[in-house]
Structure 1
Amino acid sequence: MATLRERWLESAFDEADSEKKGYVSEKSAVRLIRLISPRLLVNRVKQKVKEVSTSCLNEALRGRIDKEQFIDIYKDVATRPEVYFLMVRYANKDYLSIKDLQIFLETEQGVVTATKEECAQLIQQFEPSQEAKNNSLMTIDGFTNFLLGEDSSIFDQSQKNICHDMDHPLSHYFIASSFNTYLVEDQIKGPSSVDGFISALKRCCRFIELDVWEPDEETELHEPIIYHGAISC
């Protein structure tokens, strides 16, 4: 029996497959996945779709993605392990109930005043599955949207308001900045590490430097990486 999440994905696929062929093109599959989950990196989605499409033994079926393949691809690229393991700590099913979400907010987020009504509102705001919304349930996709949203951000949203005169040239302002933040030995060479960013931010640094590079095509990496010259983190 299909899970709540799978039924949502099946519905999205059926809507995209308007001609009822039972499959969509690679391009359509990528577009659909990006439509229902805009936060995903398009290159990673394209790579996974291409990988599944070209692995088909029947050459006539290559370039097509059927419903089952689509669901598997989406689960692979959209499921964050850390979110999944966090979710299963508070739910014994593939979704969170209002009570589960309330306990999570109290235990993990420290929101001891969270009410069931507020949890129901969060579900309506972040849950993409209409079936889940109708039953006041939150799937892992809604849970991920919530955790990545402003409601869960450690940043104080009130600080977004600009109260200073920002009409001068950039060179007229002073700012606590960091050069080659990722280097943990000196400013010329050495290993790159996330510890460099942690150290700078703890010292109230407001400007950090990231040298972002596309991964080497010969590696299995699909996301951008940070390194200095030929010294990788």
Structure 2
Amino acid sequence: MSLLSSLGLADGLAVDKIYAPYVNLLEKELEYRVSRAQGGIQAPNGVVIQRLGFGAAVTDTLALEAYIIGRGDDDAASFSGYELEARWQLTEQGEYSVDWGVLLEYEKSRDSDVEELVAKLIALREQGGYIFTANAGLIYEDSEAAGAEFETSFSAQARYRFQPYLEPALEFYAAEDYRGVGPALVGMTRLSTTDSLRWELGSLLGLDESSADVTLRLKLEYEFY
């Protein structure tokens, strides 16, 4: 159990951001994310991970983003690693019944000397007042403790477009040592013609004994041109 717990800490938390495929030319963003897991084999003493990032669209189909990461048992205040991302929009919005994108991530953990390479396929479909988004990932992880290994991940969100400032959603996450489902709220406030603030708040319940009992996640994103 202690080995599984340490591996869960090294891998991060499965409950995190669910990506949409869209890239808007000239858009820039400041993003803050925090996830807190408690209970189960994965996080018996609690785990908190924070990310602070800056990103920009460099073309109308490619966006780049960089994050600094804090990780810990209580407040995740100390610097523990960094992450680099590249996201490609593969199809025009509405061109097909499903909009597609690809995400590549590189993460380096200073605390546990873990490197991760992640490739994710992003799919989004709008139907009536609902938006369905799915991310399927293939993860290559190299660490001194466990060596090199491949893992998979999957996350999905079904969201109802009630109002721009309040959209209820249901989310599901699956990874090597985690299965969880729970509700989320998503919203957007327009600050000016070019600036907006987006936020997400979710609460996930673990579905088996290896998963954290409860995981909370928060995302704040300031977008500007």
Q: Shared fold (TM-score greater than 0.5)?
A: no
The two structures have a TM-score, normalised by structure 2, of 0.20
The structure whose Rg is larger is 1
More helix by percentage? 1
Instruction: Give the number of the structure whose residues are more often strand, by fraction.
Output: 2
The structure whose RCO (Cα within 8 Å, separation 6+) is larger is 2
